[in-house]
Chain A
Amino acid sequence: MGISIVITSGKGGVGKTTTTANIGTALAMQNKKVVVVDADTGLRNLDLHLGLENRIVYNLVDVVEGTCRLKQALIKDKRFDNLFLLPTAQTKDKTAVTPEQMLELIENLKKDFDFIIIDCPAGIEHGFENAVAGADKAIVVTTPEVSAVRDADRIIGKLEAKGLEDHQLIINRIKYDMTKKGEMLNIDDMTDILAIKLLGIVPDDEKIVISTNRGEPAVTYDSSKAGQAYRNIAKRILGEEVPFINLDDEEQGFFASLKKIFFKK
């Protein structure tokens, strides 16, 4: 039996889909059999992040409605044979699926996969209810902004009300130079406020933009810092102890570049 993990945040635009694509791919790179499920019916995007948008024939709604078998809707990844995408419908809305149907679907996937990673839509309405229905665990994504932290807190409250106690936090898009100056909420501030276990810290990284442009998750890039962070997160999910990135070691700017030239590590 596999483990299902929902990636959620409350607020939109904090990097749920990016996180789903990267964690899913990173787990596949660790030789796990993984399916990433797009639960954002009507606004699907996970296919784009994985570069699989041209391969979609059937989707999650078709499976639920019985138009096709589950296996027919699963799309194999381009790079990893053990990674699959279950896309959702773009022309339907969130009410096309019920939480009970989602639960059944996820239970079926758990028979065949080690990990089921579910990309939750923004908001706390029907789409959220569907996405969390079949989840064993939750990963809450936030960014160092007051609105994202506030929404994360609300989502944590919602998860707990549903009995989903196994939830951890990913802090996305940290800018080290700004936290250093005290002009951005730092890791301690956010874990202090949210009182939730930290799973990972993902630095703000331009490579994410590039990798999304190309439809290749950043974890496949050795040089991407965000990719490295997601690879570490995948290892932590698998039970490995990986230390968090030490913010003080992360020097940026002109002098840091100079230093790097003269004192190559």
Chain B
Amino acid sequence: MDLFKIFSKEPPSKDLAKERLKLILIHDRANVSPQFLEMVKGDIIKIISDYAEIDEKGLEIKLTRSGKQGEDVPALVANIPIKKMKEIGR
């Protein structure tokens, strides 16, 4: 296992620590509760449903970060799987 480690060139553990910290601090600073995310999710479903049939179970929304390296900003990222577009949307 250790031999494998030497050749696999894992990134140094501090990079991992930094990445994990950056992500958790976005959550800590935003102070976003799971309830908040559920509320946003509910509203997104309501609005998008007028235009498309969506897979509600597959809908995923999370708080993360985006932007170029060094200028990270918090971002709400939603992944909304669409089953079928409705007529009105065309």
Residues of A within 8 A of B (CB): 146, 149-150, 153-154, 157, 179, 181-186, 189, 192-193
Contact = CB atoms under 8 A, between A and B. Distances in A.
Contacts of B22: 193
B24 interface: yes
A150 B17 contact: no
Given A146-B21, A149-B21, A193-B22, A179 B14 contact: yes
How many chain B residues sit at the interface, stated as a range, is 10 to 19
Given A182-B12, A182-B13, A146 B28 contact: no
B12 A185 contact: no
B20 interface: yes
15 contacts: A146-B21, A146-B24, A150-B21, A150-B25, A153-B28, A154-B28, A157-B28, A157-B29, A182-B14, A185-B17, A189-B17, A189-B18, A192-B18, A193-B18, A193-B25
B15 interface: yes
Interface string B25-55: 1001100000000000000000000000000
Given A150-B21, A150-B24, A193-B21, A183 B14 contact: yes
A181 B22 CA distance: 21
A179 B18 CA distance: 13
Contacts of B21: 146, 149-150, 193
Nearest to A189: B18
Given A179-B14, A184-B14, 4 more contacts: A149-B21, A182-B14, A183-B12, A185-B17
A190 to B, nearest CB: 9
A185 B14 contact: yes
A260 B21 CA distance: 38
Contacts of A153: 25, 28-29
Contacts of B24: 146, 150
A186 B28 CA distance: 22
Contacts of A181: 12
B29 A186 contact: no
A9 B48 CA distance: 45
A259 B20 CA distance: 38
A135 B28 CA distance: 25
Contact of A186 (B14, B20, B25): B14
A258 B14 CA distance: 29
